[in-house]
Structure 1
Amino acid sequence: MKLYVTVIGLFLILMNFFPQGIMAQEKTQFAMVGLSHGHSPWFFEWGKQEGMELVGVYEPDAALANRFKERYDLDESLIYDDLDKMLEEKKPEGILVFGPIFYHLEAVEAAAPRGIHVMVEKPLATNLKDAKRMAALARENNIHLLTNYETSWYPSTEKTYRLFEQDHGQLGEIHKMVFHHGHQGPKEIGVGPEFLAWLTDPKLNGGGALVDFGCYGANIMTYLRHGERPISVRAVTKNYKPEIYDKVDDEATIIVDYKDAQGIIQASWNWPFNRKDMEVYGQSGYVITKDDEHMRWRFAGQKEVGSEVKAEELDLISNPFVYFDNVIKGNFEPAPYSLYSLENNLMVVEILDAAKESATTGKTVRLK
Structure 2
Amino acid sequence: MKKRMRNNLLLVLALLISCNLQAQKPIKLAVAGMTHGHISFILGRPGKGDFELVGICDPNQELAQKLASQFKVKPALIYADLDKMLDDTKPDAVVAFGSVFDHLAVVEACAPRGIDVMVEKPLAVNMEHAKRMEELAGKYKIHLLTDYETSWYPTTAKSMEMVGEGKVTGPIRKVVIHDGHQGPKEIGCDPVFLEWLTNPVLNGGGALVDFGCYGANIMTALTKGEKPVSVTAVTRQFKPDVYPNVDDEATIIVSYPESQCIIQASWNWPFNRKDMEIYGVSGYIKTSNNQDMSVRTQGMKGEEALIVTDGDVAVYEDPFVYFADVIQEKIKPEDFGLYSLKNNIQVVEILDAARESAKTGETVYLKR
Listed as ranges, the matches of 1:170-319 within 5 Å are 170-302=168-300, 303-319=302-318
Quote the residue 2:132 is aligned against. 133
* Number of matched pairs: 364
Q: Distance in 2 between matches of 1:155 and 1:340?
A: 15
Greater shift, 94-103 or 46-55, is seen at: 46-55
Query: Is this contact kept in 1: 2:32–2:98, CA < 8 A?
Result: yes
Partner of 1:108: 107
**What residue in structure 2 maps to residue 37 of structure 1?**
36
List runs of 5+ in structure 2 lacking aligned partners. Answer: none
CA shift for structure 1 position 12: 3.8
Q: Which residue number in structure 2 is paired with residue 347 of structure 1? A: 346
Deviation, structure 1 residue 264: 0.2
User: How far apart, CA to CA, are the structure 2 residues paired with 1:322 and 1:128?
Assistant: 28
Q: TM-score, normalised by structure 2?
A: 0.95
Tell me, in whole angstroms, the C-alpha distance in 1 between the residues paired with 2:303 and 2:102. 46
Is 1:97 matched with 2:96?
A: yes
SS of structure 2 residue aligned to 1:343: helix
CA deviation vs aligned residue, 1:243-267 (integer Å, no higher than 9, x gap)? 0000000000000000010000000
How many angstroms apart in 2 are the aligned matches of 1:48 and 1:281?
41
Equivalent position of 2:359 in the other structure: 360
Q: Contact 2:100/2:204 (CA < 8 Å) preserved in 1?
A: yes
The answer on whether the counterparts of 1:234 and 1:255 sit within 8 Å (CA) in structure 2 is yes
| 318-327 vs 206-215, greater mean Cα deviation | 318-327
CA distance in 2, matches of 1:286, 1:343: 27
CA distance in 2, matches of 1:73, 1:108: 27
Query: Is the Cα–Cα contact under 8 Å of residues 253 and 264 in structure 1 kept in the other structure?
Result: yes
Could you tell me whether the CA contact under 8 Å between 2:157 and 2:314 is conserved in 1?
A: no
Cα distance, 1:272 vs. partner? 0.2
1:112 is matched by which residue type in structure 2?
A
Whole-Å Cα distance in 2 between the matches of residues 277 and 76 of structure 1? 41
Q: Distance in 1 between matches of 2:20 and 2:323?
A: 20
State the alpha-carbon separation in 1 of the partners of residues 14 and 213 from structure 2: 47
CA distance in 2, matches of 1:335, 1:62: 38
Residue pair 2:162, 2:168 contacting (<8 A) in 1 also:
no
CA distance in 1 between counterparts of 2:287 and 2:254 reads: 20
SS class of match (1:92): coil
Residue 235 of structure 1 deviates from its aligned partner by: 0.1
Shift of 1:297: 0.6
Contact 2:168 2:285 (8 Å CA) reproduced:
no
Aligned-pair CA distance for 1:234: 0.1
Give secondary structure in 1 for the equivalent of 2:211.
Answer: helix
Partner of 1:68: 67
Task: Give the secondary-structure state (helix, strand or coil) at the position aligned to 1:215.
Answer: helix
Partner letter of residue 169 of structure 2?
L
Q: What SS does structure 1 have at the residue aligned with 2:101? A: helix
SS in 2 for 1:243: coil
Q: What is the rounded CA distance, in whole Å, between the counterparts of 2:95 and 2:191 in structure 1?
A: 21
* Cα distance in structure 1, aligned partners of 2:294 and 2:17: 44
- Give how far 1:315 is off: 2.8
**CA distance in structure 2 between the partners assigned to 1:42 and 1:16 by the alignment:** 36
CA–CA separation in structure 1 for the residues paired with 2:111 and 2:22: 29
Matched residue SS, 1:36 = coil
Which secondary structure state, in structure 2, belongs to the residue aligned with residue 310 of structure 1?
A: coil
3-state SS, counterpart of residue 306 of structure 1:
strand
Measured in 2, the distance between the counterparts of 1:224 and 1:15 equals: 46
In the alignment, the residues of structure 2 paired with residue 18 and residue 66 of structure 1 have an alpha-carbon distance, to the nearest angstrom, of: 40
Partners of 1:24 and 1:227 lie apart in 2 by 33
Q: Give the counterpart letter for 1:310 in structure 2.
A: T
Q: Which amino acid aligns with 1:119?
A: M
**Cα distance in 2, alignment partners of residues 267 and 141 from structure 1:** 35
> Contact (CA 8 Å) 1:236, 1:252: kept in 2 or not?
yes
Say whether the 8 Å CA contact 1:171–1:300 is kept in structure 2: no
Deviations 1:138-178 (A, max 9, x none): 00000000000000111100100101112x14421000000
Work out the CA distance in 1 between the residues paired with 2:168 and 2:182. Answer: 37
Are 2:37 and 2:190, in contact at CA under 8 Å, matched by a contact in 1?
A: yes
Distance (whole Å) between structure 2 residues aligned to residue 312 and residue 23 of structure 1 = 29
Matched residue SS, 1:237:
strand
Give the whole-Å Cα distance in 2 for the aligned partners of 1:143 and 1:321. Answer: 16
Shift of 1:15: 4.7
Kept after mapping to 2: 8 A contact 1:179/1:277:
yes
In the alignment, the residues of structure 2 paired with residue 313 and residue 337 of structure 1 have an alpha-carbon distance, to the nearest angstrom, of 23
- Corresponding position of 1:155: 154
Cα distance between partner residues in 2 of 1:123 and 1:62: 25
Contact 1:49 1:322 in 2 (8 A): no
Q: Distance in 2 between matches of 1:98 and 1:123?
A: 12
Name stretches of at least 5 consecutive residues in structure 1 with no aligned partner: none
* 1:68 partner letter: L
CA distances 1:73-119 after superposition (whole Å, capped 9, x unpaired):
11111000001000011010110001010010000000000000000
Query: AA paired with 2:207?
Result: A
1:68 & 1:82 partners in 2: Cα distance? 17
Q: 1:105 to 1:22 in 2, by over 3 A?
A: closer
